A and B are shown apart, each in its own frame.
Chain A
Amino acid sequence: MKLLKYLPLAVLLMSAVTAYAQDRTTKPTAKQLAQQQLTIEPGIGINPMPISDMLVSNVVQYNIKKRLSVVSYSSYTFNNAFKRTFNNIHTNYNYSLSQKLGVGTSVYSKHMSHTFALLAGVKYTAFKETLDNPEFEKVSASVSSFSPDLGLMYNLKLGTKKYFFSYRMYLPLNPYPFKTRDINAIDGNLAYISLELGLGIRLGMPSGVK
């Protein structure tokens, strides 16, 4: 009979445990999934104006709040990928490495989220050309340069499960958008717009969601 005294307390405790357990096994909603805190999105892309550079990149996004995130963007660009020899001028190597950090804000819909981020960082560019015209002396020139890299990124995450499709567009804000009359060059920031596709993964997803 002494134990009966503790029965209400035991029921209360078990109810609380059951309620907590039920809460933990409830399948997360699409919105909750889309707002999952940490995402990693490796991808590949091009600089389409003109289509001459190819790049591999990775975006890491951490949602501090529902509409506020910090974003890291890293890329390796294989510059001038399709024309490595022109008028006896051979490109020995030509690449850029970029690392940017920034803040973003996201809007969510049923199956996707859109993130707009302002990024700033540094870009390292290295290239070497050799003039190898049989009529003249052979001359090489090389450059390695650090430059600021500032821009806006739009990032679409399509899908609400652990793995999702990622699309992003990066619009650099420097160099300043100069127009050019030179038919052979698109310059300024227009030359460094990038379009990228990738596969993203949400880290810390509950088990059973793929």
Chain B
Amino acid sequence: MKRLFPLLLLLLIAACKKEKVNPAQTSTFCIQSAANGANYTIKVALPDDYDAAKKYATIYVLDGKDNFDYVAANAKKLSNELGKTNALVVCIGYGNDRAVDYTPTDAKEGDGGADGFMQFIKNELVPKMEHDYGADTQRQSRTILGHSFGGLLAAYAFTNYNSVFGNYIMLSPSLWYDNEILLKLEQEHRQANQANPQLVFMGLGELENSGRMQAPYAAFLQRLQQNYPGMKIDSHIASQLDHMGSKNPNILKGLRFYFQNKASN
């Protein structure tokens, strides 16, 4: 037992180790948005052997402050494992409160600034990434990843800004927001979006039992599965995990799905 103790301690430390990205492979800049006036800090994780002359796919990550290290480290790991070229991981920091930027309408729980935020991404951030970092200009090469209100924004990007992103990783999306406004928006934009080729990954925690997460998720998933012939879709319910607990396991599942199915190598 005495011999086992250091080994167990090492395993515990290894299990608690937080993913870190090599600072030499990251780049940070700020943008004052013309669309909504907010000041966003953007962190970019560059692939190994990054060459500005090449074209790279991009993964835009919401709640960037919290998710940068985890997403960047695992994108690198999974792309290596699957033999795919890694993407530029672009993490968007908070310019406004997330209840402003990530919510599509003005309701009790949020202020409805998603339109301004999407304008910022579409007209300012994406062009800057293409110009300064060699980001691929095709819709199919761009992914948006968000959790909770971030997942709601990813769903809003899918319905209302489908020309911007070709891939969506929506984790525990707050589809209950404003009496399920996203279901309404999906219905309104279905005809325009349904033929587009796209990858969609949806994830949820099995124990998200707050009485608002499961049914709208099932309704949205069902609609996507039934009405979008151009879409490749997957869903994962993380066993025994709740809202925050399911986030990282579902990020892994979502990134794996993306790298396995992305358009180019």
Taking beta carbons and an 8 Å cutoff, which residues of A are in contact with B?
A: 52, 79-80, 83-84, 86-89, 91, 94, 125, 127, 129-131, 133, 135-137, 139-143, 145-148, 175-176, 178-185, 187-188, 191
Contact B209 A139 (CB under 8 A): no
Tell me if A175 and B149 are in contact (CB < 8 A).
no
- Which A residues lie within 8 Å of B216 (CB)? 89, 131
* Residues of B199-224 contacting chain A, CB below 8 A: 206-207, 209-219, 222
Are A91's CB and B243's CB within 8 A?
A: no
With contacts A86-B212, A125-B209, A145-B207 taken as known, whether A139 is within 8 angstroms of B222 at the C-beta atoms is: yes
Contact with A along B176-197 (1 / 0, CB 8 A): 1111100110010000000000
Q: Is the CB of A87 within 8 A of B98?
A: no
A-B contact count (CB 8 A): 116
Q: Which of B47-55, B82-90, B157-165, B234-242 contacts A (4 or more CB under 8 A)?
A: B234-242
Query: Nearest chain A CB to B97's CB is how many angstroms away?
Result: 10
- Check if B215 sits within 8 Å of A139, measured CB to CB: yes
Q: In the complex, which range does the number of interface residues on chain B fall in?
A: 35 or more
Are B244 and A143 in contact, CB atoms less than 8 angstroms apart? no
- Residue B63 interfacial (CB < 8 Å): yes
> Given known contacts A140-B215, A145-B239, is B245 in contact with A175 (CB within 8 Å)?
yes
A135 and B179 alpha carbons, distance in the complex (Å):
10
Given contacts A89-B215, A183-B99, contact A133 B244 (CB under 8 A): no
Beyond A91-B211, A129-B215, A185-B210, 19 additional contacts (C-beta under 8 Å) are A52-B210, A83-B211, A86-B176, A87-B177, A125-B209, A127-B211, A129-B213, A131-B218, A131-B219, A137-B219, A143-B207, A147-B240, A175-B245, A176-B245, A180-B244, A181-B148, A182-B243, A184-B174, A187-B245
